[in-house]
Amino acid sequence: MPLETFPFDAAEYLDTPEAIEEYLICAFESADPAVITNAFGVVARARGMSQLAAETGLTRQALYKALSEGGNPEFATVVKVAHALGFRLRPEWVSEAV
């Protein structure tokens, strides 16, 4: 009997501010822009893309495109999305980078 699988959507499990924060922290720890962009997209879907579009002043279509797996958003878009989700981007000193 073949193994039956089901699609997994992390957005379905991001139902608390703490879960969203931890999800984004893990994405940022990867230091991979594609992972971070995708994570913002997943969080945006969890919170509601229409609401996020209204809060950022961007269209839903632009957000879907920018925050998709292959998206390459402008930094201004990332800052707007982070702010609308209730996050602030700030530098953190990483000693081994020096």
Report residue 92's pLDDT band, with 50, 70 and 90 as the boundaries. confident
Write down how long the chain is. Answer: 98
What are 22-73's pLDDT values in tens digits?
999 999 999 899 999 999 999 999 999 999 999 999 999 999 999 987 889 9
Q: What are phi and psi of 61, to 5 degrees?
A: -60, -45
Q: Which amino acid is at 39?
A: A
Helix 49-56, helix 75-84: angle, nearest 10: 110
pTM of the model: 0.84
Q: Is residue 71 within 8 Å of residue 41, measured between CB atoms? A: yes
Report the alpha-carbon distance of residue 72 to residue 97 in Å, rounded. 24
Q: With respect to CATH, is domain 13-86 assigned 2.60.98?
A: no
Q: Is residue 72 within 8 Å of residue 61, measured between CB atoms? A: no
**Boundaries of every domain in the chain:** 13-86
